[in-house]
Every structure is written in structure tokens, then in C-alpha cells.
Amino acid sequence: MKRIKYILLGLVASSFVLQSCSEDKMDDINKNQNDPEFMESKYIITDVMNSSAYNGIGGDLAFYASVYTELLGGAHAQMHNAQARLNEPIANTTYNNNWNSLYRNLRNLHIIINKCSEGGEEAGNYHTLGVAQIMTAFNLGILTDLFGDIPYFEALRPLENPQAKLDKQEDIYKEIFRLLDESIANLDKTSKYGSLGNQDIIYSGGNVKSWKKAAYGLKAKYLMRLSAVQPNYQAVLDNVALSFENSAQDFRYQNGKVDYTFYNFYDSRAGLASSKTLFDLMSSIDPQDPRLNDYFVKIGEGDAAKEIKLIDHSTDVAIGQALYSPSGLSYFTDNDDRNARNAIYLMSYHELLFIKAEAEARLNKTADAVETLKLAVEAGLNKKQTFTYPGYVRNIPASLSGLDLLKRIAQEKYISFFEVESIEAFNDIRRWKAMGENLIELKHRNPELFPKRYPYGNSDVSNNPNVRAAYGDGSYVYTENVWWAGGTR
């Protein structure tokens, strides 16, 4: 009996010891090792860079913009619906995946900024902080330029604000400029942490000077965007002077292991095809433009029967994946996949030069504008893609001035944006229209159905009454300009 008593006492005592240890042990056991509580900012930001390029500026949003701007035409499935102005341009489901991706980017960037700011786990990590602020400004720019007023200031605290209010585009733009100014200041500081190194998939090794140039380039872009409401062309030029000095400093995504987005889209959908609007414009400027041979793929049986077949935006377009010439920048064959390596531009050197040329033209610096235009065209001819044209010299008449000069700048910029910079072409066309300038003549048979913006994503239309009220039935897409294009939201 005594023996049993001692055994029981031992078991009770050991149970207290086990209990005191087990809670800590069980906490360890219950942890998901693939979802750590702490992750260094540099690992988070790599995913943001990839998503910003692939799901943001270079993905579905750009595919649709290429149709609306007539850089390409919609031949099949949802792209044909966009071409015909059926449901896609106004549906809240059309861009929902991209809407969600951009907000995930902003949420992740918000985490990085908090980590790297004063009081955060990585306080003093100034360079990563500066890069995060640039990427935040960039993602905000995509969202507000395409959608107008958006949830932002409350949206990054979803537990506190599950139904965030919409912020005015004018206020979003103030935030973009604040972020870019602060990013430049942080990149100038001595960081207490190492560089991003290989986690930087845009500027190899986390090159701080290149990121600063990107920030100044974005400032120039966004200042030019406000031409119709708050023009300041000298400020544009001031920021251009501090930005890219050559195409090696482009703000671009080009990964040997990740295929070019338009190439992927052609592979999976073949929904986009060559545009008569673009072909006719290029031919009218110079019938010997070598890009005419490369950008428009001949189709048909046998060499003698092969011809370029273009989508004519002025007519009702037939549906078919094989009816029209594909783009030479996304087309591939079993023996040729070079287009898989084309760059995705967040902002290009040639874009910067076109911005500079336009600012100079609007300040009546005509001779400077013509010379800058020549450099811009040359840079666009040799951007990071399958085809380059170092031996071709574009004839830019020195006599160009006034509206003729502005129109030529716009036309050359539009051509240089083919195809992956379609979103920027969409932004420019709306900006010029707001200024009363029809610098790019679109040919769509229903010009009144040119989208003035994109509709909000279904995730927020369904769950946020503030967004639902702003969306309505989606028809506002055809009637209401964004703020910088003269609208109210």
C-alpha cells in the first residue's frame, strides 16, 4: 500500500513538471514553420516586385489597355468582349484578381514600412524603407490612375476598418509625392542594414543610386499626369534631370526564369491580335519603318499566301484566334521563343525622354524638344525586347513646332509603348483628351464607349458598401473621368 502511495505521489509530481513544460512545447509544435511570425523585409519585398510587374503593370490590366488604346485588338474570348465593348469594360469581375493583387502589394509594403520605420523591428533599415516607399507609390499610381478614387488610408488596417472609405484621387496623388520625397531622403541615409542584394530583382544588388533615379522618374511621370489640372512643366524637367541617364537604368523587370506576360497570354489564350490603327499610323510616318516587318506577323498557308491580317477597330470584329496576325512581340513558334525574355517596364528611359520632350514643347523650348524627341525615339527603337534597330535613324523634321510637334511626340511615344506599356498609353490618351488635344486618333466604331477608367474589383463591390455605392451598375466607366482628367472622382 505504501508503495502504491509513493507511486501515485510521483505521478502527480511529474504531471506538474510535464504540465509546466508542455505549454511551451505545444506552442512550438503548433507553429507553422512555413508561416513564420517574423520575416525579414528583404524577403517580403521580392514578392512585391514580382507581383507589381507581373500582376500589376504587365498583366491583365495592360492586356485590356492594349485593346482600349488600339495598340492591339481583341480577337477572342474576354479580349473580344473588350473590343466589342460588351460586358468586360464595366463588369466588377473583370479586374478583380488584379485589384486584389495590388492591394496585397500595398498591405505587404505597409508591413515593410512599419518594420523599417522608427520603433519597428528593423528600424534604421533606411534603404529597404526607401524602396518600399517607391513601390508603394508605384502601386498606388496604378490603382488610382485606372480606378480613380480608391480605398487607401483606412484600407491598410482592415481589422479596424473592414469597410474602408474611398479617398479622393487628389489626396492619393499628394500621398504618392510624399512617399517619393521620403523615399529619396531615406535612400540618402546610411542604412544600419545590408543591401537587398539578390532579393532585389529589379536593380541587381539593391543599387541605391538606381532606385533614387527611379523615384525621380516617377515624380516626373506623375507631375506630367497632372497637366490638365495642375501643370508644372519646369518641375517635370527638374525631376527628369535627376532620373535615368540611359536605358541601362530603366525601372524594369526582366527575369530569365519568368516569361514575358504578353508572351504567356498569347500562349494560353491567343486573344490579342495586330491592330490596323497602329499599323496605319506607323506606315503614315515612315513606310520604311523596320518595325513594320517585325511587329505584325504574316499568317496564311504557304509563303505566297501569307499576309498581314489586321483588326480594324472601325468595324465589327469577327471572333477567332487564328483570323488575325499576332503581335510580333508576343508570338512564338516551336523553334523560336525569344519573346519570352522581353522586358516588363515599370518606367522606361524612352518614356522619361518623351516626358522631357513634351515638357520642353509646352514651355516653348522647341529646338530642345525636337532634339530630345530624337533621343526618345532612338531609345524606344532599342528597348529591351527581341527586336532592336540600332542602324535605323528616324527622320524628325527640325521645323516641327506647336501642335504639330506635340502630336509627333505623342505619336512616337504611343508607338514606342507597343505593347507592354499599354497602361501608360491609356493614361496619356485620357490626359491629352482632358487637355482638349486629340493627339492619338483612335478609330473604334463606338467612340463614345472609350473607357474613361476601370471598374472597381468585385471583392470590394460585394463587401464594402462605400465601393458598392461608387460602382453602381458600372456604367460610370463610360461617362466619368478621373480627377486628373477633369472629373470629380
Q: CA–CA distance from 47 to each of 44, 290, 466, 469 (Å)?
A: 6, 37, 30, 33
Instruction: For residues 45-63, give the mean pLDDT.
Output: 97
* Amino acid letter for position 196: L
418, three cell numbers: 507597343
pLDDT tens figures, 265-277: 999 999 999 999 9
Q: Which of 1-15, 147-161, 334-348, 357-371 has the highest mean pLDDT?
A: 357-371
21 and 223 Cβ atoms separated by less than 8 Å: no
Closest CA to 128 of 67, 59, 197, 81: 197
Instruction: For residues 342-348, give the mean pLDDT.
Output: 97
So what CATH class is 40-259+342-485? mainly alpha
Instruction: For residues 194-214, give the mean pLDDT.
Output: 95
Instruction: For residues 312-337, give the mean pLDDT.
Output: 93
Higher pLDDT, 37 or 127: 127
Spatial neighbors of 99 by CB under 8 A, at least 6 apart, are 143, 147, 456, 457, 458, 459, 460
Closest CA to 471 of 483, 459, 486: 459
Query: What pLDDT was estimated at residue 27?
Result: 47
Closest CA to 351 of 307, 322, 383: 383
Query: What pLDDT was estimated at residue 66?
Result: 98
Q: How many Å apart are CA 350 and CA 378, to the nearest integer?
A: 8
Q: How many Å apart are CA 305 and CA 303, to the nearest integer?
A: 5
Q: How many Å apart are CA 399 and CA 389, to the nearest integer?
A: 25
pLDDT tens figures, 235-283: 999 999 999 999 999 999 998 889 999 999 999 999 999 999 999 999 9
Beta bridge partners of 136: none
* Amino acid letter for position 46: T
86 and 294 Cβ atoms separated by less than 8 Å: no
pLDDT tens figures, 374-404: 999 999 999 999 999 999 999 999 999 999 9
How confident is residue 37, by pLDDT bands cut at 50, 70 and 90?
low
Q: How many Å apart are CA 132 and CA 269, to the nearest integer?
A: 34
Give residue for cell 525622354: 353
132 pLDDT above the threshold of 60: yes
Express as a percent the part of the chain with pLDDT over 70.
Answer: 92
Query: What pLDDT was estimated at residue 34?
Result: 53
50 and 253 Cβ atoms separated by less than 8 Å: yes
Spatial neighbors of 81 by CB under 8 A, at least 6 apart, are 74, 87, 88
The pTM of this model reads 0.92
Query: What pLDDT was estimated at residue 16?
Result: 37
Query: What pLDDT was estimated at residue 334?
Result: 79
Q: Is 255 left (phi over 0), alpha (psi -120 to 50) or beta?
A: beta
Instruction: For residues 154-182, give the mean pLDDT.
Output: 95
Query: What pLDDT was estimated at residue 159?
Result: 85
| pLDDT, averaged across the chain | 92
339, three cell numbers: 519573346
Spatial neighbors of 187 by CB under 8 A, at least 6 apart, are 126, 127, 130, 131, 208, 211, 212, 215
Peptide bond into 419 cis (omega under 30): yes
Burial class (CB in 10 A: 0-12, 13-18, 19+), 268: exposed
26 pLDDT above the threshold of 70: no
Closest CA to 329 of 23, 62, 52: 62
